[in-house]
Structures are given as C-alpha cells and as structure tokens.
Chains A and B, each alone.
Chain A
Amino acid sequence: MMNCREATRLMSEARDRRLNLMEKASLKVHLWMCSGCRNFDGQMDSLRDLMRMYAHEDDTVDSGKPDDRSSGVEK
C-alpha cells in the first residue's frame, strides 16, 4: 500500500512527467483515503499557478503604489 511519502513524491513527479497506469491507479486509491495528500495535490497546482504569477508579476509587486490593504491587520 502506498504511503504519504511515496504519494507526495509521485504527485511532484506528475508535474514533470506522465505517470504510468499503475502509478496513477495507486495514487488515486491513496488520494481517495487521505485528505492530507488531497490537499497536497491541490497545493502542487497552486504552487505552479503562484510561480506563473510570480514570473509574470506585471502588477503583482508594482512599485510606488500604496498598499490597498485597509484591514489594519499587522503581521
């Protein structure tokens, strides 16, 4: 049975190569049962999206603009 360490490794590799049928099947079964790894899978997508935004940060970290946060929440 696949554990989380193996599952996360496969989820990472799935972003770089095509998984074979066997890998896909075992991963699917694991994800079915494991909410932590399901979250991890979504985070891998988010990480890629975030990197794209970071790479094309047109207006993301634009200079000189005052921060539009007005909630007053401090870090």
Chain B
Amino acid sequence: MTDQPSSPLNDSAFLQDLRNQMLKFARLQLKDEHQAEDVVQEALAGALRNAEAFARRSALRTWVFAILKHKIADSLRGQYRQAAVFDDSACNIGEDGDDQLFDERGHWQADERPQHWSTPQSLVHNRQFWAVFDACLNRLPAAQARVFMMREFLELESAEICAAAEVSTSNLNVLLYRARLQLRECLENHWFAEPQGKSR
C-alpha cells in the first residue's frame, strides 16, 4: 500500500463517513441489521483490496457503491429465496394512505394538489436538501422502501423485482405507486413548498 497523504485510504474520517453512507443505503433495503453490516463490510473490503488506484475520493466512492449495489441485490435474492414469502405488509395494500390526498371522486384535495417544483437538478450539492430527502426515504414503510430502492436505486426491471421479492406485478405497481406518492408529498411539504425550497 502506498502511503501518500493524498490517498483516501489514509483518511479514516473519509472511510468512516463512507461506511456510514453505505450502511444507510443497505439498511433501507435489507431488513436485517446484521445483514446490512455484512454486505457493507464485504463491499468495503472487496473495494479496498484494489483501491490504491483510486486517488480521487469520488471515484472510490462511486466504485464502492457499485460493488455494494451488487452485494445488496445478491443478498436480497438470497433472502427472498429463503423466506419464500414477502413481508406481510407487502400484501397488505388497502386504500390507506392516499385518502387524505384525494377527495371522494378521486380528485386532488385542494391543499394537496401538486405544485411546480423549481429546478430539482440544482439541488445536487445542497446538503440540507439531501438531509430532507434522506428523512423522507426513511419514512417509507419497509416493504415500499425495499421495492422502491430495488427499482430506482438498484435500477432492476419490474420482472426482476417481482421474481426476487416474490410479489405479483400488480402488487409491485401498487407498492411503487404508494412509495412515489408518499415520497413526493414528503419532499413537497418539507422542501419544495418551504421558503428555502421555493427560493432556488
């Protein structure tokens, strides 16, 4: 191992921070804390074995997360094969949750009608925004969060998610719909409709 001061590997604060971010991702997708720790450990160890090539932190981080994605996907596939049934709450998809959003004819309640979001792309470096985003993601019910992350973070196709999570296509559609509905509402209420969100 080279001991250049610039190597991100010598920066324990950076590594700790990286590990925390990885854990955060893993926990959203795996219900078991130990399992989350395990995949992060494996991904980090695997990545660091060859990490000397990565002088830039962002390059290392991107690479480590790419490995983590695969570890989580593998772990999920194994988990669902073992469990054979998806979490109970996944099947429990009544009409709860959006009753406050729509009126009895299925139209937006006046105060729930989606607003225009100004330039979300400009938020990429805004730490406050990502804290809100994190909080909103963490608020999703576990079953919704899992399939949402499989779809939007791991970027798996619906068919793959149905197979891995053992849900029907229609259940998956409902879970993803509810996750998106809730996430957009949370972001709108806590960011885009707030003064700091509106001002950008």
| Chain B positions 114 through 129: 1 when the CB is less than 8 Å from some CB of chain A, otherwise 0 | 1111001101111110
B31 within 8 A of A: no
How many residues does chain A have at the interface if contact means C-beta atoms less than 8 Å apart?
43
A12 CB, min distance to chain B CBs, angstroms: 4
Q: Tell which of B18, B106, B126, B153 has the most Cβ of chain A within 10 Å.
A: B106
Q: Which residue of B lies closest to A43 (CB)?
A: B184
Instruction: Report A37-68 residues with CB < 8 Å from chain B CB.
Output: 37, 39-40, 42-44, 46-51, 53-64, 67-68
**A39 and B116 within 8 A (CB):** yes
Given that A3-B105, A4-B107 are known contacts, is A12 also in contact with B21, CB under 8 Å in the complex? no
Q: Which residue of A lies closest to B60 (CB)?
A: A58
B128: A residues at CB distance < 8 A: 67, 69, 75
B121: A residues at CB distance < 8 A: 49
Instruction: Report A1-44 residues with CB < 8 Å from chain B CB.
Output: 3-6, 8-9, 12-13, 15-17, 34-37, 39-40, 42-44
**A12 and B177 within 8 A (CB):** yes
**B98 and A5 within 8 A (CB):** yes
**A48 and B127 within 8 A (CB):** no
A68: B residues at CB distance < 8 A: 125
Q: Main secondary structure on chain B at its contact with chain A?
A: helix
B117: A residues at CB distance < 8 A: 39, 42-43, 46
**B180 and A44 within 8 A (CB):** yes
Q: Which residue of A lies closest to B192 (CB)?
A: A43
B181 within 8 A of A: yes
B120: A residues at CB distance < 8 A: 46, 49-50
What separation, in Å, do the CA atoms of A41 and B126 have in the docked complex? 24
What separation, in Å, do the CA atoms of A9 and B14 have in the docked complex? 41
**A47 and B65 within 8 A (CB):** no
**A12 and B173 within 8 A (CB):** yes
What separation, in Å, do the CA atoms of A19 and B183 have in the docked complex? 23
**A8 and B153 within 8 A (CB):** no
Instruction: Give which listed residue, B13, B58, B107, B181, contacts A12 with CB less than 8 A.
Output: B181
**A3 and B184 within 8 A (CB):** no
B6 within 8 A of A: no
Instruction: Report B180-199 residues with CB < 8 Å from chain A CB.
Output: 180-181, 183-184, 187-188, 195-196, 199
**B130 and A61 within 8 A (CB):** yes
